[in-house]
Structure 1
Amino acid sequence: LWKIKDGSNYTDYMYKSHGHKYAIKNPAGGIYTEDYGKGNVYAVMCPHARGWQEVLEKLVRRISSYGFNGVYHDQVGTGGPRMCYDRSHGHLLNDSSVWLEKGYWPLFDNFFAYLHKNHPGFCHTTEENAEPYLKQMDGYLVWRWTDNGQIPLYQSIYSGRAQFVGRLYNHNHPGDRQSFFSKLGQQLVNAEQLGWFMPSEVREADNRRLFTKKAMHVRFALLDWFNCGRMLAPIDFGSTMKFEQPRWGGNAPQHVRMPVIANSAWLGQDGSRMWLFVNTQQKESVAVPSIRSAKGFWICREGASAPVFSKSALPVKLKPLGFEVWIEGSKAKAEAVQKTLRKIASFDAGKPIRLVTKFAAKKITGTPDKFYTAADASGNLYCNAAANNSHFGWIQDGALISFGTVDFGKAGARTAVVKVAVDPGYAGGTIQLLTTKAGRPETVSAVFPLKSTGGWTQYREIRMPLKSVLTGPHQVLFKINGNAACNFAGWKYQSKDH
């Protein structure tokens, strides 16, 4: 794609002089466009046009020369082919080979001729997982693998050929909190790279951060099977496996049915089989796998000092958010994996990241019962203000809204009021009022429970007494807990108890 208004402030830079010439032309001589809103309209480019190829080759060479490890080619894997009717590109009209055989395939061959000689470790990724690009791409951003009923067929075939990089955790329609564990567990057992969640989701020192940290170490310990082995048929648990249906975030809200213990089986290149079990629940989970082996199983449990040998398959009984690995045929490999499972048992969630001081910009002389809106805010993180400053929306779990330093004066503040709209499907979150006085630690001055108000445009006020009277200047920050927990219109304070 080439942005039509590619200069500053939506002006032309090089599109008229270069981009238009290399864009795909329809039979009438017009171009195909993709409109992403707010003036961001792009022309679809012809991969056979030499001028466009030269632009891409120069970009790849320049980026690789900076020392980066790779480049992401947006749209290549997900954009459908278009037939081109521009003879100046050097191809036949409506030539079906323009897109791949005479387009992207030789284009990437030119990339590799340079990169393999000068930057052999430089990798390429693209959007989605179209098979025709497997011989060119090292990784696929499979961000839309969020639908109910999906099975890991693609990973079972190509997991050693390409890295699968990131699923969408929350977007236009955020998921519930449990979906974080469900999705990350599925990524791990299916040999995908973990994440593509917002930093806000691991800002707090909670079990999401700890689960992610443990999963990263487990994945690293199992790379021989993930990268060099192959996925085996799904494990049979009979009727012993329970299922969950959390609401996954994505382009559309939907409940995704998954086993409570994420699992997979792998065959290593040395012939060793490996089974991985991950409890995605915040309570103990048990299931009985139907697996047979003449060699028996080395069972690696989280926190154990050494793997335990069993001639037959045992019930898998996992602690909340726990991990277990079984290995057949290699005690040495089991001992190596056990080192990791022993180590992760000692991990903690670390410390919360406090960001109050990052926003201490504006100074407000407080007025009781005055309503403070987005127009008065000093800054925000993990949410967006409406264009007319009517409210903050697009809220991710852990969103922050700062109002700088507010001087509550001698009369002080005894009660705080927030004005919010809460959709019934996303009720249950909270808003924390965090205050900080110079030289003192951050304090949670009030917590507002978020019950349904009837919808995103139906606003109500929630009034809560402060834990202590606030007098003089304090930094004021609102932290919103819960994906899409509310639309936040503003707040006010009162000096008298109500």
Structure 2
Amino acid sequence: IGVKAVYIDQVAAAAQALCCDPNHNHLPGGGNWWNRSYQALMRVLNRTKPADRAFTTECNAEPHAGSFDGFLTWQWIEPEQVPAFPLIYAGRVAMLGRNINGYKKKDMPYCRFHIAEQVLFGQQIGWINADVVNDPQKFPFLRKMVQLRWQYRDLFNRGLPQRPPLVASDIPDTPSFAGMGRPPAWQVFAMPPVRAGLWLDSQNGKQVLFVINTADRETGCSVELPRIPANGRWIHRETAGEPVLTETAAGSRLEARLEAEGMIVIEWDA
């Protein structure tokens, strides 16, 4: 399938072990030897790596961003996340997948929420068992989001996420928990049915708004946005009736009734 990468497990996931061995040449309790040693290892590997190959590892500890081409972001399922890491590293380090397997595998609202948010955060959608292609509930939405992610692959490779738009919807949030089997993942949190993301193409200044309904029913929503000019282009509009875009004192407001698992995508130039 064209993937030429080596996965080195746990490097960006493992916490530094405290070491107080007096024979070691670092301060008691730690020092920077753990990260420095991994970085030295990866410098050697990267020097001899062919141009069309990649190294990836687990999780996304920042000290290793200069050593790897991709991070397996499977743990990005915690409550109330914001795309702070992609704001810095989008286009520099590939962010790969989320954990939607295990004992959350059959939780459809949870799966749709995190599949959609992977797109909005610029992640590559993944870490899903192959049997998803036989799941009539999960696969149609997954396929739609994969196609959307592919359509905007250049944007996610060279663009940056902007402050997430504020969204209100007319159906309640869904309670859930992260499903990692350990605190703080047991914390119950709310999954809003409608999620939105705004990306800026750093090459040409184009902005792209994504609004995605993760609910399995029609949902009304209101999205507060920066000013959208008159030349905005409606790329996808899966709505019941015509959406309404109005100017406000702070920018623009989009009001729409999204179809079940529907989406809106608008582009505009700088």
Which of the five TM-score ranges fits, normalised by the shorter chain? 0.7 to 0.9
Identity of aligned residues (%): 25
Normalised to the residue count of structure 1, the TM-score between the two structures is 0.46
Shift of 1:271: 0.9
Equivalent residues of 1:125, 1:141 under 8 A apart:
yes
Tell me the distance in 2 between the aligned counterparts of 1:239 and 1:214: 22
From 155, 166, 170, the counterpart of 2:101: 170
TM-score normalised per structure 2 = 0.81
State the alpha-carbon separation in 1 of the partners of residues 103 and 14 from structure 2: 21
Task: Describe the SS at the equivalent of 1:108.
Answer: helix
Contact 2:79 2:178 in 1 (8 A): no
Matched ranges for 1:122-201 at <5 A: 122-171=53-102, 176-201=107-132
Residues 303 and 164 (structure 1), Cα distance of their counterparts in 2 relative to 1, 3 Å cut: same
Specify the alignment match of 2:261 in structure 1: 321
Given the superposition, is the C-alpha separation of residues 256 and 188 from structure 1 closer, same or farther in structure 2, using an over 3 Å criterion? Answer: farther
Q: State the partner residue of 2:159.
A: 229
Alpha-carbon separation, structure 2, partners of 1:241 and 1:151: 22
CA–CA distance in structure 2, aligned partners of residues 279 and 239 of structure 1? 10
SS in 1 for 2:141: helix
Q: Which residue of structure 2 aligns with residue 105 of structure 1?
A: 39
Deviation at 1:195, TM superposition (A): 2.6
Query: What stretches of structure 2 of length at least 5 have no aligned partner?
Result: 248-252
Relative contact order, CA 8 A, sep 6+: which one is greater?
A: 2
Q: If you compute each CA radius of gyration, which structure gives the higher value, 1 or 2?
A: 1
Which of the numbers 299, 313, 323 marks the counterpart of 2:234? 299
Q: 1:71 to 1:156 in 2, by over 3 A?
A: same
d(CA) in 1 for partners of 2:51 and 2:196? 35
| Secondary structure of residue in 2 paired with 1:237 | strand
Secondary structure of the structure 1 residue equivalent to 2:267: strand
User: 1:263 is matched with which residue?
Assistant: 196
Q: Matched residue pairs, number?
A: 253
C-alpha contact 2:119 2:125 (8 A) present in aligned 1: yes
Alpha-carbon distance, 1:324 to partner:
1.6
1:63-462 equivalences under 5 Å are: 69-82=4-17, 83=19, 85=21, 92=25, 94=27, 96-101=31-36, 103-115=37-49, 119-171=50-102, 176-204=107-135, 206-237=136-167, 242-246=172-176, 248-252=178-182, 255-269=188-202, 270-291=204-225, 292-302=227-237, 313-329=253-269
Choose 151-160 or 262-271, whichever is displaced more: 151-160
Give the C-alpha shift of residue 137 in structure 1. 1.2
The alpha-carbon distance between structure 1 residues 240 and 251, as it changes in their structure 2 partners (threshold 3 A), is same
Q: Is the 8 A contact 1:296 1:309 kept in 2?
A: no
Question: C-alpha distance in 1, partners of 2:11/2:73?
Answer: 13
TM superposition shift of 1:149: 2.5
Residues 175 and 149 of structure 1: is their aligned pair in 2 closer, same or farther, counting only changes over 3 Å? farther
Q: What letter corresponds to residue 317 of structure 1 in structure 2?
A: R
Partners in 2 of 1:107 and 1:130 — Cα distance? 16
Q: Is the 8 A contact 1:240 1:287 kept in 2?
A: yes
Question: Secondary structure of 2:138's match?
Answer: helix
Q: State the alpha-carbon separation in 2 of the partners of residues 109 and 149 from structure 1.
A: 35
1:184 match: secondary structure: helix
Give 3-state SS (helix, strand or coil) of 1:245's partner.
strand
Computed over aligned residues only, the root mean square deviation of the Cα atoms, in angstroms, reads 3.0
